[in-house]
Structure 1
Amino acid sequence: MFDDIDLQILHILQEKARIPNAEVARQVGMAPSAVLERIRKLEERGIIEGYEVRLNPRHFGQKLTAFILVEASRAGNGRLAGELAAITGVQEVHQVAGEDGYLVKIRVAGTEDLGRILRDDFMAIQGVISTRTQVVLSTIKETRRIDLEPPPGP
């Protein structure tokens, strides 16, 4: 799938995606052209999905984070996830096992916005039976980083 050098490159890019290619090459002991080719292949294979800037939501008035469990009817499941994902403020939509069909992460300005979105947007989607909301009081850890371990030996 990938080797130790690929893992080193992925570690470096997870720490600082904007690092110059020449610096990545220096750290792994390879020519910049070889590193660039490896990165291109990792992107083509979907191992690297993209690069994004992490913004602080508080600077944009999004001070409240909540997780919403959405109970969905079977009839609504086909298109429901896409409709949930399209709601303003929704950052993640996960289909989950159990009585609830989806777990949704949302960021909004405050409880007034959250209440309006639950009432006007979530409950307007055909197939949504009910919602249960957990408001985040504080966030201890939040990351999209993947723990990279060397591949198991033979």
Structure 2
Amino acid sequence: MDHIDLEILKCLQENARQKASNISQTINLSVSAVTERIKKLEQSGIIEGYTASFNQKKLGNDMCAFMEVSLEHPKYYDNFTKCIAENKNVTSCYYITGDFDFMLRVLTDSSEGLEQLHRRIKSIEGVCSTKTHFVLSTVKQEVSVLPDEDTIEEP
């Protein structure tokens, strides 16, 4: 990856739906060269996919929270992660260090929805404790972080 690839990634980060012709104008590179570079970034796994971002409040999901979860024993890991992966209200699940084993980001329609989700998670075999933090507002939410330009080596 070089500086040109980084510029392409910046353009895609701003709007993944923009055409190669728009990117080529922004970075002063031919459309075919931009298209080829995007294909190489996809094939190398740097670009894992494209997604859409939705306004959760407009979709009725007014409640966002982070939930810390501890398991009684590591033997419950596989079943817990399977249950969490199948739950549409859990948007992220991280296996972490510290007092808790997992950090979940959850979205629900209301405090009642969060209570139901909390009960479901607490009822998963092996869950011994939870701690929930309500999100008051989101200051920053990025999907990815691009490297600094000075860390990119020229070929």
TM-score past 0.5 threshold: yes
Match of 1:130 in 2: 129
List aligned pairs for 1:95-110, cutoff 5 A: 95-110=95-110
List aligned pairs for 1:1-154, cutoff 5 A: 2-72=1-71, 73-119=73-119, 121-150=120-149, 151-152=151-152
Distance 1:10 1:122 in 2: 37
1:71 touches 1:101 (CA, 8 Å); kept in 2? Answer: yes
State the secondary structure of the residue aligned to 2:58. helix
* Aligned-partner residue type, residue 28 of structure 1: I
User: TM-score, structure 1 length as denominator?
Assistant: 0.91
Distance 1:137 1:28 in 2: 39
| 1:61-102 deviation per Cα after TM superposition (whole angstroms, max 9, x unaligned) | 100100000101211113322321221311000000012111
2:62 touches 2:110 (CA, 8 Å); kept in 1? Answer: yes
* Aligned-partner residue type, residue 16 of structure 1: N
Moved more, 11-20 or 61-70: 11-20
1:68 touches 1:103 (CA, 8 Å); kept in 2? Answer: yes
Distance 2:34 2:145 in 1: 20
Distance 2:82 2:46 in 1: 24
User: TM-score, structure 2 length as denominator?
Assistant: 0.90
Distance 2:19 2:13 in 1: 13
Runs (4 or more) in structure 1 with deviation over 4 Å come to none
2:2 touches 2:153 (CA, 8 Å); kept in 1? Answer: no
Distance 1:46 1:128 in 2: 35
| 1:98-151 deviation per Cα after TM superposition (whole angstroms, max 9, x unaligned) | 1211100001011111111111x2122222111110111122222214143122
Distance 1:37 1:6 in 2: 11
Aligned positions, number:
152
User: Where does structure 2 lack aligned partners over 5 or more consecutive residues?
Assistant: none
Distance 2:3 2:48 in 1: 19
Deviation at 1:28, TM superposition (A): 2.0
Identity across matched positions, percent: 32
Distance 1:99 1:77 in 2: 16
Distance 2:137 2:110 in 1: 14
Distance 1:152 1:20 in 2: 25
* Aligned-partner residue type, residue 96 of structure 2: V
